[in-house]
Amino acid sequence: LMMNTFYIVNSNANGEGIPYFFEMTWKPDLPIFDLHAESPEGKKFADTYRVKAKTDYLKVDLLINDYLASDALLEMCSSLHADYLSVPIKVFLEDGSEPAKRYNFFCVKIRLWALNQDESVYQFADEGLLRSEEDRGCGPVYERIDSFVFKDEVIEDLFYCEEIKQVICSSKFKAEFELRQFSGLNF
């Protein structure tokens, strides 16, 4: 059995098609949620959104921190059986035109405690955090993780990793993303 390799997923702005920063106005407003605490519930969202993007260009496939994904990226995620929440949106650029790609609100749904504690090298943030999860109300908090070994049972291709509070993808997801020449992510 080959071990899967995993990657932290980060936005990859380049100023050309992938703006470094731009303001988006959502109509209706997106529900308030904190991805670091829990995945948002689908029932809190409208059926569709209109987004005014304060930028002249938008050609990206995934802006993970802005919850924006192209239709093509959703199709890829579905083919990999990645579990996500999506809602169609109509994007209008600053000049009132629409970008060439169609977009969706996009959020990873799967959340995992993925660290193999027996094989990894780490330090807890505070000894008091070693109390049971029921006493604390959450899982362990790590001060540092020097060597992160994933549990064998982690087979998902895209998920939110609870230990490091980041979205993670598999080598399979990364390879497919690169094969399709998608844009918007660093691994």
Q: Tell me: pLDDT of 128 over 70.
A: no
What pLDDT, on a 0 to 100 scale, did the predictor assign at position 1? 45
Query: In the numeric block, which tokens belong to residue 66?
Result: 């802005």
Average pLDDT over all residues of the chain: 88
What pLDDT, on a 0 to 100 scale, did the predictor assign at position 135? 55
What pLDDT, on a 0 to 100 scale, did the predictor assign at position 131? 55
The residue with tokens 């380049």 is 14
Average pLDDT (38-67) is 91
Which of 33-47, 60-74, 100-114, 130-144 bottoms out in mean pLDDT, i.e. has the lowest?
130-144
Average pLDDT (147-175) is 94
CA dihedral sign, ordered 36, 38, 44, 50:
positive
Q: Tell me: pLDDT of 39 over 70.
A: yes
Average pLDDT (161-171) is 94
**Exposed (0-12), middle (13-18) or buried (19+): which is 162, by Cβ within 10 Å?**
middle
Instruction: Write down the pTM of the prediction.
Output: 0.86
What gap in Å lies between CA 11 and CA 65, rounded to an integer? 7
Q: Which pLDDT band, with edges at 50, 70 and 90, does 67 fall under?
A: very high
What pLDDT, on a 0 to 100 scale, did the predictor assign at position 114? 94
What gap in Å lies between CA 171 and CA 173, rounded to an integer? 5
Average pLDDT (71-92) is 96
Q: How many CA atoms lie within 13 A of 14 on its CB side?
A: 13
Q: Tell me: pLDDT of 100 over 90.
A: yes
Inter-residue contact 70 to 102 (CB < 8 Å): yes
Q: Tell me: pLDDT of 57 over 90.
A: no
What pLDDT, on a 0 to 100 scale, did the predictor assign at position 167? 95
Q: Tell me: pLDDT of 107 over 60.
A: yes
Q: How many CA atoms lie within 13 A of 12 on its CB side?
A: 12
Q: Tell me: pLDDT of 65 over 80.
A: yes
In which order are the strands placed within the sheet that holds 6-8? 6-8, 166-170, 158-161, 111-112
What pLDDT, on a 0 to 100 scale, did the predictor assign at position 20? 65
* Contacting residues for 104 by C-beta, under 8 A, at least 6 apart: 68, 69, 70, 71, 74, 86, 87, 88, 89
